[in-house]
Amino acid sequence: MGMTVVEKILLAAHALEEAGTSPFTAEALIVKAWELDKHLFGLQGYADKYPDSNRVLTNIMGSKGLKAKGWIERVGEKRYQLTATGSRMALRLVGSDAGSATRAGALGRKQVLVVQRMVNSPAFKKTTNAGPQGIIFRDACNFWGISSYSNASTLRNQFTDIREVLEELEKAISQSTTGVIVLPDMKVFLDKERVRAIRETHETLQTKFFNELQVIRGRAAKREEMDEKPG
């Protein structure tokens, strides 16, 4: 049985909160719901370009909407947050959808750990909240799963793992009926916007710490050259 319109809006609200937007505005919820399902929440005749705000708003405040169900509460002018009941309901919905989405992505335990590391890293949190200015190389190493003493082989393997994980996540999300997935042991939503943010963080860190990465690559290259020389 598919999700109702109200349940899909609840998923959008929870996705906003998991991304650090709490409380959230009605406008933010409208856009997020539309991003997750443009066919359902798109403006008639322009579904791929614009959201239908009335479609979402009526399901927030209506007699059978999120507020009436006790899933969200108003905390300001057009500003809302999930209630404890709403959060629990959202997690149940994610759990019911997560199985097929995760199987579609065929993510193994190692790949799940890579995602957990990146999402929980200081570098990702700093980049998404305030930009890369305050990030130090140690933060980047944590995101990548390396240290300043790693060699080129380790760096190459970690970058390969990250690339493959991001591709699997994008594939799983595209095959999910809601455009949202949750991985084993992760009570957080992953949608295409969050995966894009992870990818952008990866690229930003590579640019910011280009010289440091070159040192790691160069150090290993010199060692390999010495190993190849005859004794």
* The pLDDT of residue 64: 85
pLDDT band at 219 (very low <50, low <70, confident <90, very high): confident
Q: What pTM was estimated for this model as a whole?
A: 0.57
Q: Which residue from 210, 173, 225, 213 is spatially nearest to 195, judged by alpha carbons?
A: 173
| Mean pLDDT along residues 163-182 | 82
Residue 61, Ramachandran bin (φ over 0: left; ψ between -120 and 50: alpha; else beta): alpha
Answer for the pair 199, 170: CB distance below 8 angstroms, yes or no.
no
Instruction: For 46-101, write each residue's pLDDT tens digit.
Output: 888 999 999 999 998 888 889 889 999 888 787 898 888 888 888 777 765 444 44
Please name the helix (run of DSSP H) or strand (run of DSSP E) that holds residue 226, with its range, or none.
helix 210-228
Task: Give the whole-angstrom CA distance, residue 191 versus residue 178.
Answer: 9
Task: Give the whole-angstrom CA distance, residue 185 versus residue 11.
Answer: 18
DSSP character at residue 188: S
Instruction: For 4-15, write each residue's pLDDT tens digit.
Output: 899 999 989 988
Fold of 5-82: Arc Repressor Mutant, subunit A (1.10.10)
Q: Start-end ranges of CATH 1.10.10 in the chain?
A: 5-82
DSSP character at residue 83: -
End-to-end CA distance of the chain: 71
* The pLDDT of residue 113: 83
User: What Rg value do the Cα atoms of the chain yield, rounded?
Assistant: 21
